[in-house]
Amino acid sequence: MTATVRIGELAARTGVSVRSLRYYEEQGLLTSLRTPSGHRRYLETQVERIFFIQRLFSAGLSSRTIVDLLPCVESPNTDTSEAALERMHQERDRLDRHIEDLIRTRSVLDELIAANRAHRTELVSA
């Protein structure tokens, strides 16, 4: 039988809160086994899955997008690979647009900082 861990231990091992693990389960990102008393137990293999999910969240992907990509990870085949590849391209394009927006915002902020410095210099010189 494959070893299982309790939710608190899984949280400690992955650095993900118990609340987040419950959310992952609600969203279909993670599955648990239930003891007769209803406590959650997770397979050891879920540890790596959680690290992978965290990397996808860090890349800006939503839980809905991650749910769409996980079938390709779990059972890669031509159909799931094509769908996942298309979704990854869409997400990359979305991230590129977001990065461009952030760069524009930073440029405006840089202009405001420069104007503020110039104004402060004028006040000191006067």
**Model confidence, pTM:** 0.70
Which residues form the domain of 52?
1-58
Domain end call among 41, 58, 75: 58
Alpha helices in 1-77 (DSSP H): 7-14, 18-27, 46-58, 63-74
What is the model's pLDDT at position 37? Answer: 92
Here the CATH number for the domain that contains residue 43 is: 1.10.1660.10
19 with 46, same domain: the answer is yes
Mean local confidence (pLDDT), 80-106? 88
90 with 124, same domain: the answer is yes
What is the model's pLDDT at position 46? Answer: 92
Residue 108 has pLDDT above 90, yes or no: yes
50 with 100, same domain: the answer is no
